[in-house]
Amino acid sequence: MPDIQIEWSPPLARVTLNRPDKRNAVTSAMWQELEALARRVAADPALRVVLIGGAGDVAFSAGADIIEMQRSLAEPARMRVMQQAVQDAQEAWARIPIPTIAVIRGACTGGGCGLTLACDLRLATPDAFFSVPPAKLGLAYSLADTKRLSDLVGPSRAKEILYTGRRIDASEALSLGLINDIVAADELEARAGALAALIAGNAGNSVRAAKAVVNMICSGVSAETAESRAYYDESFSSPEFLEGARAFLEKRRPRF
């Protein structure tokens, strides 16, 4: 079985980290594949939403593969390649222009947690838990990862999470804004699918614009730019708006 499974069913795509016996730990090769997948998703106009989860019930992902990391300790060049693969994959997922949903069961730690931070929405089971452990390993968290965490929970909470490296259960993660909702384990897949379908049923240009503009705001943009104005202006002449307006007047659901 492949370490990453892909189900391509436009308008949705599902990606599954498939190493349940290793708590879905992610190897360098898998990080590289995740980066390539993100670029493939971004280039496919038929896709509206992509979901990512982990195989089994024990973990979304325990993060980077510890055996591979141990083998790299004495080889700084190999370690740099491995860490760059992690950052490149997470950045590629953050840049996907369509909505991304992380579907989380059990442990979501280290690089696995970082991957979910790069997604737009996060649904988790009641037994899910999260940790960001660099302080327990003598490591520094990357600026990109730290910014994503801080954007979600605020600077003070982000500092606490990073300073302590402590475990955060699902209920606390929800209260912090680290996840969007807690869903019973036997309902998780259906709920994630329904959420993805709801989003995919809306106007793709509107959803992409919403993601782009929110991301601009998170990057510090607070005044109108040519790019943000273009999203707004061009929407009024888009085929999606024409269909949406027509459907409204005809009292029917739009067909985007």
pLDDT for the residue 98: 98
Q: What is the pLDDT of residue 67?
A: 80
Question: What pLDDT is attached to residue 77?
Answer: 81
Delimit the CATH 1.10.12 region(s) of the chain.
203-249
Query: What global pTM score does this model have?
Result: 0.95
What is the C-alpha separation between 248 and 136, in angstroms, rounded? 56
CATH 3.90.226.10 residue ranges for the chain: 4-199
* pLDDT of res. 202: 97
pLDDT of residue 191: 98
Class of domain 4-199: alpha beta
Q: Of 172, 88, 75, which is closest to residue 126 (Cα–Cα)? A: 172
Mean pLDDT in order along the chain per 10 residues (256 residues): 95 98 95 97 97 98 84 78 92 98 97 97 98 92 96 97 97 98 98 98 97 96 95 96 93 94
CATH topology of domain 203-249: Lyase 2-enoyl-coa Hydratase; Chain  A, domain 2 (1.10.12)
Tokens of 253: 């659901």
Query: CB of 192 within 8 A of CB of 134?
Result: no
What type of residue sits at position 220?
A: G
Torsion angle of the four alpha carbons 73, 4, 38, 243, in this order, in degrees rounded to the nearest 10: -160
C-alpha to C-alpha distances, 191 to 6, 79, 143, 223, nearest whole angstrom: 19, 38, 32, 36
Quote the pLDDT of residue 124: 98
pLDDT at residue 78, rounded to an integer: 81
Predicted local confidence at residue 81, as pLDDT = 86
